[in-house]
Structure 1
Amino acid sequence: MSGAPDPAASAARPALPPALDRMLRRFLTPVIVLAALTGLVLLLRDEGPAAARAFARAEAVPLLAASVAVYLAGLLLAVHAWRVLVPGEHGVKGLTAARIFFLGQLSKYVPGRIWGLLTHVTQGRAAGVPGARMTSAYVLTLALTVLTGAGVSLLAAPAALPGHWPWLLLPALCFLACVVRPALATRPVTALLRLFRQTVEPPSDRAVRRAILLAVASWLISGLHLWFLVLALDGPLWSGLTTAVGAFALAAVVSSLAVIVPDGWGVRELTITAALSTVLPAGTAATAAIASRVVCVVAELGSSAVVLAWARLRRRAAHPTAQPAPTPMGEPRVHP
């Protein structure tokens, strides 16, 4: 989530020969990003400059500040959604949990999900959590993030599919079934992990339900950042609210599946643009999508820097560097 609030999707993909995998990443990644950027530039030619100037207005400043604030709140909820899936006796709390989560968050800026998994496993072991527990929590978090993000993305459907909202009942019922019976969401994930010879201890149904609810809250709150950007661009109030929140969740889920593109660069912007085009002109929607990327990067990098610096200061305070013992007054200090 956001902070969404993001967590080895790569483990779920069929294994490719290393040479083919490297070739696909080397050539497809820049092609996809370049194609997406080209599409965005074409969309921005007309309404883009005027929409960008709208962000410079004095009345837009509180909306931009609110956009960053709600995204940060969504990230904090995402930390809790992941933390409750780490089994009880090995639970991580407070600053330790935040440090592991935000270090893993930074890994999404490189292609592939394996780096986030490695970060979680390495940092979890340092905190006393076995690697298998961290792996299962990480992969379950990925699965629940996609599930809840897909559920929240349905909010954008009424504007995109006017008059066809009854079709939304089926995916909504599937989502509610997973809340009532968490095993429907966790069993496929644990079965997949066992295929890769990972020892899995599924969390309790209560923990999974709590993680689902926290993830939904994270999506809803972090998605508000896009709504504030829509308002800054003079977009509609209520239809803009549901469309923006649903569009952000949809775009984040789609971009998370584009594992060869770091953090879904380009893919997420085009998805947001397509969804917001139902309530905004295409160029203005593209401007909002790019502004959303800026807000997310600023919030994620800023919060990660604060958490990591705070953790380092706490470690130094807990383990201060040994100081040489003071010499008695009048006794000459001997230097080696």
Structure 2
Amino acid sequence: MPVDDVEPAAKPNTLRGLLVNGFKVLVTVAIVIAIIFAVKSQWAAVKSTITDLNWWTLAASSLFIFLGMGAAVRSWQHALGALEQPIPAFDAARAYLVGQLGKYLPGSVWAFVLQTELVRRAGVSRAAGFVAVLVTVGLSTTSALVVGLFGLPALFEVSTVAAVGVIILVPIALVCAYPPVLTRLVNLALKLLRRAPLHKPLTMHKIALALGWCAASWVLYGIQLWLLASSSAGFEIRGLVQCIGALALGMCAGVLVFVVPSGIGVREAVIVAALSPFMDAGVALGLALASRLLFTLCEVFAGVVAALSGSRVLRNALVHERSRVPDPSKARADKVQ
């Protein structure tokens, strides 16, 4: 009798597990195909530009992309901490970097879905993870708009309406990022998700850290574009300021325009306008596309390394036992025993 009682209950769980694993495989295959297609299409457009660049320029640009990713991971980690969901940097990096690969699927929302699911494996509830993603996107957009003010001249060349829109959005975004206001917005989101509100309001210190790391990531990304542009236009401070502002605005627009994979075309238009005063428009477009290809390759490399780091052996070697977030399923099992 006990055996008969257990078997029927096990079948639905087994079927559900198979469906979940099948969906994971399907998403992984879709991401791989999307990335291969993206790299192949980008390479055809930038082959001549890439081959004309010095190896040290490509290496230095890639380095600043990785540094920018590191700053973005720190911002993500501080946002989780501010929401009373602290996780180790190792787990934050894995959730953020692997999740970022989802943006190569049509609709940038897939990156947010993957990050929510991956952070859940680090011990954060799905609802809290989803709210953390929303807060991180909001803070990232706010910092991009502020840093992007340096690229307003370039944006005016693309669209006066868009430039005026940025000027209007900056104070609104800053008000929403103000801790008392952000606390109310977070609690509203938690209420809609039927979850308990935050135990205490968000603090200026933690939100400022998240915003600061976001801003640092935009600056580092802008420097990589400047290094690429300097190979044709020379090292000019004015060009550095333009590149930082233009890339922040371009990537921000690429996230907001989520109908196309990773905002293809939106970022390039702003970057070309920023580089046009220093070089021919054709060269500027080639560098903008080269920058996108470098981002793609660096994000794929970082995502793959982060995914492989999920192996138990490597994780045990790199993450100290006391710094880990307890496994919720294991905690429940211990409690039952």
TM exceeding 0.5: yes
Paired position in structure 1 for 2:22: none
Residues 301 and 171 (structure 1), Cα distance of their counterparts in 2 relative to 1, 3 Å cut? same
Residues 175 and 265 (structure 1), Cα distance of their counterparts in 2 relative to 1, 3 Å cut? closer
Aligned length: 272
What is the distance in 2 between the residues matched to 1:238 and 1:251? 20
Residues 125 and 174 (structure 1), Cα distance of their counterparts in 2 relative to 1, 3 Å cut? closer
Residues 104 and 160 (structure 1), Cα distance of their counterparts in 2 relative to 1, 3 Å cut? closer
Q: Kindly report which structure 2 residues correspond to 1:111-130, keeping only aligned pairs within 5 A, or say none.
A: 111-130=106-125
Residues 262 and 190 (structure 1), Cα distance of their counterparts in 2 relative to 1, 3 Å cut? farther
Residues 185 and 158 (structure 1), Cα distance of their counterparts in 2 relative to 1, 3 Å cut? farther
What one-letter code is carried by the residue in structure 1 that aligns with 2:275?
Answer: L
Structure with the greater relative contact order (CA < 8 A, sep ≥ 6): 1 or 2? 1
Q: Which residue of 89, 99, 103 maps to 1:94?
A: 89
Residues 219 and 185 (structure 1), Cα distance of their counterparts in 2 relative to 1, 3 Å cut? farther
1:256 equivalent to 2:255? Answer yes
My pick for the range that moved more, 68-77 or 150-159, is 150-159
Gaps of 5+ in 1: 1-36, 319-336
Cα deviation code 1:174-215 (max 9, x no counterpart) = 676667x33345544654564465655364332111111111
What one-letter code is carried by the residue in structure 2 that aligns with 1:117?
Answer: F
CA contact 1:54–1:232 (8 Å) conserved in 2: no
Residues 92 and 170 (structure 1), Cα distance of their counterparts in 2 relative to 1, 3 Å cut? same
Give the drift of 1:304: 1.5
Q: Kindly report which structure 2 residues correspond to 1:85-164, keeping only aligned pairs within 5 A, or say none.
A: 85-87=79-81, 90-158=85-153
CA contact 2:182–2:202 (8 Å) conserved in 1: no
What is the distance in 2 between the residues matched to 1:186 and 1:271? 33
Give the drift of 1:128: 1.4
What is the distance in 2 between the residues matched to 1:239 and 1:126? 45
Residues 159 and 311 (structure 1), Cα distance of their counterparts in 2 relative to 1, 3 Å cut? same
> Percent same amino acid among aligned pairs?
30
Paired position in structure 2 for 1:232: 231
Query: 3-state SS of the aligned residue for 2:279?
Result: coil
CA contact 2:272–2:288 (8 Å) conserved in 1: yes
Cα deviation code 1:70-106 (max 9, x no counterpart) = 1100100100101111146531112211111112111
Residues 230 and 306 (structure 1), Cα distance of their counterparts in 2 relative to 1, 3 Å cut? same
RMSD across aligned C-alpha pairs, in angstroms? 3.6
1:61 equivalent to 2:58? Answer no
CA contact 2:233–2:278 (8 Å) conserved in 1: no
What is the distance in 2 between the residues matched to 1:153 and 1:91? 30
What is the distance in 1 between the residues matched to 2:156 and 2:85? 46
Residues 222 and 169 (structure 1), Cα distance of their counterparts in 2 relative to 1, 3 Å cut? same
What is the distance in 1 between the residues matched to 2:197 and 2:274? 38
CA contact 2:154–2:246 (8 Å) conserved in 1: no
Instruction: Identify the structure with the greater helix proportion.
Output: 2
My pick for the range that moved more, 122-131 or 206-215, is 122-131
Cα deviation code 1:98-143 (max 9, x no counterpart) = 1111121111111224423332332222221111211111000011
Cα deviation code 1:280-326 (max 9, x no counterpart) = 321111011101101101111111222222332424769xxxxxxxx
My pick for the range that moved more, 290-299 or 264-273, is 264-273
Paired position in structure 2 for 1:76: 70
Paired position in structure 1 for 2:301: 302
CA contact 2:64–2:224 (8 Å) conserved in 1: yes
What is the distance in 2 between the residues matched to 1:250 and 1:204? 27
What one-letter code is carried by the residue in structure 2 that aligns with 1:285?
Answer: A
What is the distance in 2 between the residues matched to 1:175 and 1:155? 17
What is the distance in 1 between the residues matched to 2:151 and 2:65? 19
CA contact 1:255–1:263 (8 Å) conserved in 2: yes
What is the distance in 2 between the residues matched to 1:94 and 1:311? 13
Q: Kindly report which structure 2 residues correspond to 1:1-336, keeping only aligned pairs within 5 A, or say none.
A: 52=48, 56=52, 60-87=54-81, 90-158=85-153, 181-185=178-182, 187-188=184-185, 190-191=187-188, 194-195=191-192, 197=194, 199-201=196-198, 203-235=202-234, 237-312=236-311, 313-315=313-315
What one-letter code is carried by the residue in structure 2 that aligns with 1:183?
Answer: P
CA contact 1:86–1:137 (8 Å) conserved in 2: yes
What one-letter code is carried by the residue in structure 2 that aligns with 1:231?
Answer: S
Give the drift of 1:159: 6.1
TM-score by length of 2: 0.69
Residues 213 and 195 (structure 1), Cα distance of their counterparts in 2 relative to 1, 3 Å cut? same
Gaps of 5+ in 2: 1-40, 158-162, 319-337
Give the drift of 1:235: 4.4
TM-score by length of 1: 0.69
